[in-house]
Structure 1
């Protein structure tokens, strides 16, 4: 099952977690002279933490499903630098957030599927990642649907709402049955060999294709309408997520709507 050193939490992950905590404290207390910078650091660092947990969930589930090589690869240390493709797992998801306010993790842990027996196990391994985003979204929205916002600074509330939006978009998009995304990994074991072979060449491009489709205005509007409807059901209104993204993009002029409500 791997030595203790292969499962010890990485200093890199601990550092990112520390940035999340410190910047979150700065947002909460209003300590930072530029609150937008604090919001940017808090949301980005928390987003990277969720990416690490997403990949960890894949790896841990694979380990307990039969792939004992996982531990030696360093995936259980939560170190994002150990992933097969740091570009897909960290850099591109952060760029997606900055460019379009879209949460879209990219799976990049190498699992030796030949070691795993049983189609259900393969499906569960693929589902484990986006289910982590679902759990993260529940935690982020808990103060809203529990009506526990008394005393929560409005800027922190905005940041938390925007982070919740990222987790919801990540969960929904990753569950799409598109080659290269986790949703396809869930159903792939149940498809015929011929269908799997036909879909295999498209796997490297699935992530980029989904992101490109979201730039089509009609698709973008329909997708975010669905996302905001779900967030409203969880108590997070549209203004909160909008002002969270507005604060996150500190390099732009703040929206007067958010300034009034802040």
Structure 2
């Protein structure tokens, strides 16, 4: 029977652990940053936690295992609670992808210094952790709703443009889904990945080569 999963079966334990960490820390980073800027919305809804149960979306998790892309439960944010909504909004949106970047960086660093002594399953887990978090870092910065990259642009543009973006956001979501789940991704998403992901990993390699 043909494998219906996006990953090889033997990779699944590493994929699941990596996704649990990646999604949980990503959403916690959004919630914590919003809380520090004065918005208690996420905290009041139990999202200021590192408990994966509070952040995972069952359908989104299944999708990433089967289709290779998915989502967690978005953290609720009320911009009206921010003293500086534009600055705080950008930083809250940026916190999620940056948390994935940090996880990937740490995982790669541990891999570099442990690869000669650690058991093979630890090496496999570290590499999966690094790769998936780099993918999530790049993916979430794409300028399409409902991704963080779109939210950053939304907060940076003038108010009248933000209103127009909100009006047409539903169509943007539809266009984004078409780009992701159809062969069009070969001309849009995949070219971005083919440049950005190797660039990030190459940056890690350059940094840690200084210590070897």
Q: Normalising by the residue count of structure 1, what TM-score does the alignment of the two structures yield?
A: 0.62
Aligned residue among 45, 58, 64 for 1:96: 64
**Following TM superposition, by how much is the alpha carbon of 1:151 offset from its aligned partner in structure 2, in angstroms?**
2.1
Aligned residue among 188, 194, 201 for 1:219: 188
Q: Counterpart of 2:35?
A: 63
Task: Determine if the alignment matches structure 1 residue 228 to structure 2 residue 203.
Answer: no
Q: Counterpart of 1:164?
A: 130
Q: Counterpart of 1:128?
A: 95
Task: Determine if the alignment matches structure 1 residue 180 to structure 2 residue 149.
Answer: no
Determine the C-alpha separation between the residues in 2 that align with 1:195 and 1:91: 32
Q: Counterpart of 1:24?
A: none
Task: Determine if the alignment matches structure 1 residue 75 to structure 2 residue 47.
Answer: yes
Determine the C-alpha separation between the residues in 2 that align with 1:124 and 1:79: 23
Q: Counterpart of 2:26?
A: 54
Deviations 1:110-159 (A, max 9, x none): 11211112121111111111110010110121135x45410234454334
**Following TM superposition, by how much is the alpha carbon of 1:63 offset from its aligned partner in structure 2, in angstroms?**
0.9
SS of the residue corresponding to residue 116 of structure 2 reads coil
SS of the residue corresponding to residue 67 of structure 2 reads helix
Pair member with larger Rg: 1
Determine the C-alpha separation between the residues in 2 that align with 1:155 and 1:92: 26
Determine the C-alpha separation between the residues in 2 that align with 1:202 and 1:123: 20
Determine the C-alpha separation between the residues in 2 that align with 1:157 and 1:192: 47
Pairwise CA RMSD: 2.9
Q: 1:75 to 1:232 in 2, by over 3 A?
A: same
Q: 1:67 to 1:229 in 2, by over 3 A?
A: closer
User: Contact 2:100 / 2:134 at 8 angstroms: preserved in 1?
Assistant: yes
Gaps of 5+ in 2: 1-7, 207-212
Q: 1:105 to 1:206 in 2, by over 3 A?
A: farther
